[in-house]
Amino acid sequence: MSFSPDKSIMTTNENQQSSKFLEFIIYLLFLFGPLTGNIIMVLFLVLSGEFSVEPSAILVVIPAFMFPFAITQLFSGAISDIKGRFPVLIIGLILFGVAMLLAALSISLEIFLVANFLAGIGFGLINPVLMALMTDITSPSNIPKKMGFLGASANLGVGLGPLIASQMILIGWRSIYIVFVIIVIIGLTFFITTKRPPQKIPDDPGLKIFFSHLSKELRRFVVVVMVVSAVLISHTYLAINIWTSKELSGPVSESLIGVVLGIAGVGAAITSIITGNTIKKRGIRIPLIFGIILLFLSLAMFIIIGDITKPEVFFSLAIGWILSGLAGGILFPAITYYS
């Protein structure tokens, strides 16, 4: 039997290119969730005018997205272990795409809330499966580095969302969601047509195994601690961005808020990459300690500032905002890797 080295090399190169493109799609979609979730920070005034409600009423959109997003994530990773990564991702993308289209067509706050609720479920199916898929195609020694890049993508989305939205509202706020629909279609096409990487799926992928996996994880003390820690840190991070943006929605222009959040997001992306490399070389303790210190420094600055609507405190406010972004950039990949 003859063996062609050239054919073998070509096949290897094709597999490597396919894996690299899959990684790119994972990073893009991982950026996508925070990006869509955080555009609301510069849309308070625009949406309140569009739907004829008070700006404070728009705040209900945030839990409408976050609660289903958080709850769905409890199950989606385990479901993908049993049913496969790609089927769960495809269902999540379909739900998310429908939600973005519904948001673009919203004529009332109630419809917009339903759109965000569906988006939360959709991205709750997508988010943990993307991380699981990344670990499936990555060697164990490179997982900390890849988690750093995932953290960079997520934090970049946190910053880019408000920055992009603050510029696109000049065209029309609905155009933002139309762009998101197009990106979802691209991602959906890729996952439907691409070759799926190998994944070991149980011979009897039923509900019994699913709940067995879930109960096993929830009985582990370290898992419970990590879940609680992640919730506290992420909600502190979100509260800083959301409440600060809401209070500044009148005194400060949307463009300036978007720029500051964009800087914080870029800084967070850089620290995420550094954190991934640091964990790989020196362990997780240093990033965790440093990230928590930065987060508390940021919170202390906000407390000291007091009334954040005064123009003279905006520079100090921006520094606190950026510090919170750097903290998020460190803590996200650290907790993700440790989990």
Blockwise average pLDDT, block size 10, the chain, 339 residues: 48 59 85 78 83 85 84 81 85 94 94 93 89 83 79 77 77 88 89 74 59 68 66 65 61 71 79 82 83 85 76 79 82 71
- Distance (Å, rounded) from C-alpha 29 to C-alpha 35? 10
Residue ranges of domains in the chain, CATH in brackets: 7-196+206-338 (1.20.1250.20)
Give the per-residue pLDDT at 3: 47
Nearest to 325 by CA among 247, 259, 280: 259
Give the per-residue pLDDT at 94: 95
Nearest to 336 by CA among 299, 295, 291: 291
Q: What is the pTM of this model?
A: 0.72
Nearest to 94 by CA among 68, 118, 67: 118
Give the per-residue pLDDT at 203: 57
Cβ neighbourhood burial of 75 (10 Å; 0-12, 13-18, 19+)? middle
- Distance (Å, rounded) from C-alpha 41 to C-alpha 260? 12
Nearest to 77 by CA among 203, 214, 198: 214
- The answer to whether residues 262 and 152 touch, using CB atoms and an 8 Å cutoff, is no
Give the per-residue pLDDT at 11: 47
Spatial neighbors of 129 by CB under 8 A, at least 6 apart, are 76, 77, 80, 85, 88, 89, 92
* Residue that has been written with the tokens 């300690």 in this structure: 289
